[in-house]
Chains A and B, each alone.
Chain A
Amino acid sequence: MRSFLGKRAIASGVSLLGLIVLVFFLSRLTGDPTNLYLPLDASTEAREQFREMHGFNDPLIVQFGRYVADLAQLNFGQSLRQARPAMEVVIEAFGWTLCLAAVTMTIVTVSAIVIGSLAAFRVGGIFDRMATFFSLVGASAPDFWLAIVAIVIFAVNLHWLPTSGTGSVAHWILPVSVLFIRPFGLILQVVRGSMINVLSSAYVKTARAKGVRSRSIIFVHGLRNAMLPVITVIGDQAASILNGAVVVETVFGFPGIGKLMIDSILLRDFTVVLAVIMVSALAIFIMNLLIDLAYAMLDPRIRY
């Protein structure tokens, strides 16, 4: 287990380093931040002073060396836009996204598992039809469209819910609902398929021959076996929300990491972009680790 963890950490660390190098140099290609931060009529001296202050005059390689040296002391640099430590900005936004992801994925997982299992138990029944309908809708409706339509209907026309922000529970309903649809459809289908497989397995036949009740066959004998492929997809979907549900966060003005990322790229706030990438990478690393642990927990045959 320990060597497994070590190997994983090293592999992830190496790819993270590569990513930092790539992003550091590529983001510089987008242009000079000076033009965005100073007024159009700012004097040449002022511009020069701005560049000097933030070190943009040095050769790129020197800038990179300085960045890495700071990084080694866990100094992630200052945000240009907000004039405070980049990491502070990122962690604040990440907290919001984490909440959003946790709430959404909990609702998605519970409902997809219950409806998907019942759909698999009676193929062609009411739950099965619901499952097929929702997954089709989920897969085909683009989220930016859903988000805008939802705002038009529920916020603008009906005045039931606010359009954006995070003040109360009501603020969360629309973003969570829109984020819910796609992973729900996807996970539902995986649960259903996996469960149909499991329910036709030999050990379920044994359970029926034992006289085990249907509910117990589905949720005790079936579900634990059916969960293995499902967990992979859940982790994958959770990671994609954690990485920034860019569209949904932007449309609903949600102060999460996706919105921060877009804003920072547009405003060439390089240190924040890099910090976002590092936090996301860490989140995905932890996510994958949790998936592996969940595998081992569910299936005694899997050991690391």
Chain B
Amino acid sequence: MADHLLEVKDLSVEFHTAAGTVKAVQNVSWHLDRGETLAILGESGSGKSVSASAVMNLIDMPPGKITSGTILLDGRDMLKMTPEERRAINGAKIAMIFQDPLAHLNPVYQVGWQIAEMMTTHGESAENAKSRARDLLKRVGIPDPDAAMRKYPFQFSGGQRQRLMIAMALACKPDILIADEPTTALDVTIQAQVLALLDELQQETGMGMLLITHDLGVVAEIADRVVVMNAGNIVETGDAAEVYRNPKHAYTRKLIDAAPGKGEMPDERDRSGAPLLRAVGLEKNYGAFQALKGVDLTIMPGETVAVVGESGSGKSTLARAILRLDDPDSGKVLYNDRDLLTISDKELFGLRRDLQMVFQDPTQSLNPRMTVFQLISEAWVIHPSILPKPQWKERVAELLVKVGLRPEMASRYPHQFSGGQRQRIAIARALAMEPKLIVCDEAVSALDVSIQAQVIELLDGLRREFGLSYLFIAHDLPVVRDFADRVIVMRAGEIVEEGPVRQIFEAPRQPYTQALLAASLDPDPVVQAARRDARQQQKGLMPA
């Protein structure tokens, strides 16, 4: 009898690329037992997914190469098995779910077929597979399983798609489920439901669960033990609560300290005086879909207003409507007593420089064929009155220093930077216009927590220095808590609740705000366990 259900020992994986050999993981060891949940925690590039890919035989070789180690499943070394033996294990004994369920489900086949295929591939008859697929859909909470069998992935919501993936993964009753960032793309309330479902199913089946995540909150919610990875190495491993309480390694401490949601919330600001920008009764329809149903909003000079909400709440539409990147159907956006929605194009052009935007994904929002100097100085090409040409070079250098980069980076291209650095470039570009208001549409959502904390700090410093206002669109409540003065909660195109940040977080009035806050995960496993118990009790009290 083997010591553990699954054991990875001294695993090292390299990738040979044109730029040289990358050591993805080095001498990584961990193990997983029946009925337990092990989390591998790490930021992007830490190699947290690599050992799981090795277990599933998903590493393309070449360019990948396993240079050392063993992977023992019930005591047998998987790396010595034939490809056919490995194939037979995938899905049947070890199943896997992924981050983006829409991309990971085949778009052109019915979901019933895709779930049944898991079973027919491993020898089940088509008829049995189909009937079990229906039962599974019911078990994971898909409404009307019979109709759902014949639907395609695009016809489900994000949370339902992840439920479909889970149903598929569990079809052959695997001993091990590997979940690679299973809730990262989901809204908080949906995330809580999916994690609860995984927890329930684990208790039902007794399977071992390997969870790969960057999110301390997810670890706190569901993991028994945690492995912390940085730059291809395991820096710390242990009981999840213990690691959070007494992190031994400096990197783990840094990660825990960077987790947002712990800072002091500012006191309520004085909101008398002239607002910087005021939106009144904004409405926007896409066909029959009402994205905005009459939204009002006021931003004072030097104020950070956060708009929070889940996907489809209309928060991004609101940002785009205010900047006239999308023309709203009705309403007013008053800036300097002028309605941005009705002024002439020429006048709007003059006002554009006051209102800038930083987008979610700097990889897409920065032109890859322009140098950093060109990207930043383009502002002055368009608005020459801001700065005479001889001073461009000096000012670009200044701005780069301001956002924490070095002046000599001006000659580089966006792809030569990391994600966090690119977002800094995007911020420098916005600052080049010397704006009064910066609209940040999920500007830090794609960044690792440690980078996220740095970017937030940068934005905060700039606010104090230049008296900037921010309209901060986000789905991540802890970040909002640390950064915003005022919070607007949106749902289905309407404002549910609005107030100073302290009131929203400490005394939310609306049930929806309360639900959002309750679903948000705390990085502390003890706090999270208490919340979980409270939820369970509440569930017990509620009539069935």
Instruction: Give bound CA distance, A211 to B55, whole Å.
Output: 13
Residues of chain B within 8 A of A213, CB atoms compared: 87, 121
Task: Say yes or no for A203: interface residue by CB 8 A criterion.
Answer: yes
What per-residue 1/0 map shows which CB atoms of B104-147 lie under 8 Å from chain A? 11111100000001100110000000000000000000000000
Interface residues of B in 123-175 (CB under 8 A from A): 152, 154, 165, 168
Task: Say yes or no for B265: interface residue by CB 8 A criterion.
Answer: no
Interface residues of A in 207-235 (CB under 8 A from B): 207-213, 216, 221, 224-225
Quick check: which of B93-101, B240-248, B447-455, B525-533 contacts chain A, the rest being far away?
B93-101
A209 and B56 form a contact (CB under 8 A): yes
What per-residue 1/0 map shows which CB atoms of B270-296 lie under 8 Å from chain A? 000000000000000000000000000
Instruction: Give bound CA distance, A300 to B104, whole Å.
Output: 16
Task: Say yes or no for A206: interface residue by CB 8 A criterion.
Answer: yes
Q: A205-B58, A210-B121, A300-B152 are in contact. Are A221 and B104 (CB under 8 A)?
A: no
Task: Say yes or no for B103: interface residue by CB 8 A criterion.
Answer: yes
Task: Say yes or no for A301: interface residue by CB 8 A criterion.
Answer: yes
Instruction: Give bound CA distance, A298 to B106, whole Å.
Output: 12
Instruction: Give bound CA distance, A163 to B104, whole Å.
Output: 54
Residues of chain B within 8 A of A202, CB atoms compared: 98, 100, 103-104
Task: Say yes or no for B216: interface residue by CB 8 A criterion.
Answer: no
What per-residue 1/0 map shows which CB atoms of A134-170 lie under 8 Å from chain B? 0000000000000000000000000000000000000
- Distance in angstroms from B504 CB to nearest chain A CB is 37
A210 and B90 form a contact (CB under 8 A): yes
Task: Say yes or no for A32: interface residue by CB 8 A criterion.
Answer: no
Residues of chain B within 8 A of A225, CB atoms compared: 106-108
- Distance in angstroms from B103 CB to nearest chain A CB is 4
- Distance in angstroms from A194 CB to nearest chain B CB is 14
Task: Say yes or no for A201: interface residue by CB 8 A criterion.
Answer: yes
Instruction: Give bound CA distance, A191 to B87, whole Å.
Output: 26
Interface bracket on A: 20 to 34
Q: A211-B90, A211-B121 are in contact. Are A206 and B107 (CB under 8 A)?
A: no
With an 8 Å Cβ cutoff, the count of chain B residues facing the other chain is 28
Instruction: Give bound CA distance, A211 to B90, whole Å.
Output: 5
Q: Which residue in A206, A208, A209, A211 is a CB contact (below 8 Å) of B106?
A: A206
A210 and B106 form a contact (CB under 8 A): no
Q: A211-B121, A213-B121 are in contact. Are A206 and B108 (CB under 8 A)?
A: no
Task: Say yes or no for A299: interface residue by CB 8 A criterion.
Answer: yes
Residues of chain B within 8 A of A212, CB atoms compared: 91, 117, 121
Residues of chain A within 8 A of B91, CB atoms compared: 209-212
- Distance in angstroms from A234 CB to nearest chain B CB is 18
Instruction: Give bound CA distance, A209 to B93, whole Å.
Output: 11
Task: Say yes or no for B89: interface residue by CB 8 A criterion.
Answer: yes
Which of B87, B95, B168 has the most A CB atoms < 10 Å from its CB? B87
Q: Which residue in A203, A207, A211 is a CB contact (below 8 Å) of B107?
A: A203
A298 and B58 form a contact (CB under 8 A): no
**Number of inter-chain CB pairs below 8 Å:** 69
B118 and A210 form a contact (CB under 8 A): yes
Task: Say yes or no for B381: interface residue by CB 8 A criterion.
Answer: no
A211 and B87 form a contact (CB under 8 A): yes
Instruction: Give bound CA distance, A300 to B150, whole Å.
Output: 11
Task: Say yes or no for B92: interface residue by CB 8 A criterion.
Answer: yes
Instruction: Give bound CA distance, A209 to B100, whole Å.
Output: 15
Residues of chain A within 8 A of B503, CB atoms compared: none
Q: Which residue in A201, A205, A209 is a CB contact (below 8 Å) of B95?
A: A209
Q: A202-B98, A205-B58, A300-B152 are in contact. Are A211 and B104 (CB under 8 A)?
A: no
Name B102's closest neighbour in chain A (CB-CB): A202
A211 and B89 form a contact (CB under 8 A): yes
Name B122's closest neighbour in chain A (CB-CB): A211
A211 and B168 form a contact (CB under 8 A): no
Q: Which residue in B118, B122, B152, B165 is a CB contact (below 8 Å) of A301?
A: B152
Task: Say yes or no for B515: interface residue by CB 8 A criterion.
Answer: no
- Distance in angstroms from A250 CB to nearest chain B CB is 42
Instruction: Give bound CA distance, A224 to B95, whole Å.
Output: 24
- Distance in angstroms from B94 CB to nearest chain A CB is 8
Task: Say yes or no for B57: interface residue by CB 8 A criterion.
Answer: yes
Task: Say yes or no for B534: interface residue by CB 8 A criterion.
Answer: no
Residues of chain B within 8 A of A205, CB atoms compared: 58, 98, 104
Instruction: Give bound CA distance, A209 to B98, whole Å.
Output: 10
Residues of chain A within 8 A of B386, CB atoms compared: none
Q: A202-B100, A225-B106 are in contact. Are A209 and B121 (CB under 8 A)?
A: no
Residues of chain B within 8 A of A299, CB atoms compared: 107-108
- Distance in angstroms from B307 CB to nearest chain A CB is 30
- Distance in angstroms from B395 CB to nearest chain A CB is 43
Interface residues of B in 51-107 (CB under 8 A from A): 56-58, 87-92, 95-96, 98, 100, 103-107
Which of B88, B106, B165 has the most A CB atoms < 10 Å from its CB? B106
B108 and A209 form a contact (CB under 8 A): no
Name B90's closest neighbour in chain A (CB-CB): A211
B57 and A208 form a contact (CB under 8 A): yes
Residues of chain A within 8 A of B96, CB atoms compared: 206, 209
Residues of chain A within 8 A of B107, CB atoms compared: 203, 225, 299-301
Instruction: Give bound CA distance, A206 to B100, whole Å.
Output: 11
- Distance in angstroms from A23 CB to nearest chain B CB is 42
Residues of chain A within 8 A of B100, CB atoms compared: 202
What per-residue 1/0 map shows which CB atoms of B165-192 lie under 8 Å from chain A? 1001000000000000000000000000
Instruction: Give bound CA distance, A209 to B103, whole Å.
Output: 14
Q: Which residue in A210, A216, A301 is a CB contact (below 8 Å) of B168?
A: A210
Instruction: Give bound CA distance, A297 to B105, whole Å.
Output: 18
Residues of chain B within 8 A of A206, CB atoms compared: 96, 98, 104-106, 165
Residues of chain B within 8 A of A211, CB atoms compared: 87-92, 121-122
- Distance in angstroms from A219 CB to nearest chain B CB is 13
Q: A210-B168, A211-B91, A301-B154 are in contact. Are A221 and B106 (CB under 8 A)?
A: yes
- Distance in angstroms from A132 CB to nearest chain B CB is 19
Name A212's closest neighbour in chain B (CB-CB): B121
Instruction: Give bound CA distance, A213 to B120, whole Å.
Output: 11
Q: A209-B56, A210-B91, A211-B91 are in contact. Are A203 and B106 (CB under 8 A)?
A: yes
A203 and B105 form a contact (CB under 8 A): yes
Residues of chain A within 8 A of B106, CB atoms compared: 203, 206-207, 221, 225
Q: List 5 A-B contacts (CB under 8 A).
A: A205-B58, A206-B104, A208-B56, A210-B90, A224-B109
Which residue numbers of A lie inside 8 Å of B, CB to CB? 201-203, 205-213, 216, 221, 224-225, 298-301
Given pairs A205-B98, A206-B98, A210-B91, 16 additional interface contacts (CB within 8 A)? A201-B103, A203-B103, A206-B104, A208-B57, A209-B58, A210-B117, A211-B87, A211-B92, A216-B121, A221-B106, A221-B109, A224-B108, A225-B107, A299-B107, A300-B152, A300-B154
What 10 A-B pairs are tightest by C-beta distance, nearest first? Answer: A211-B90, A202-B103, A211-B91, A210-B91, A203-B106, A209-B96, A202-B104, A300-B152, A206-B104, A211-B87
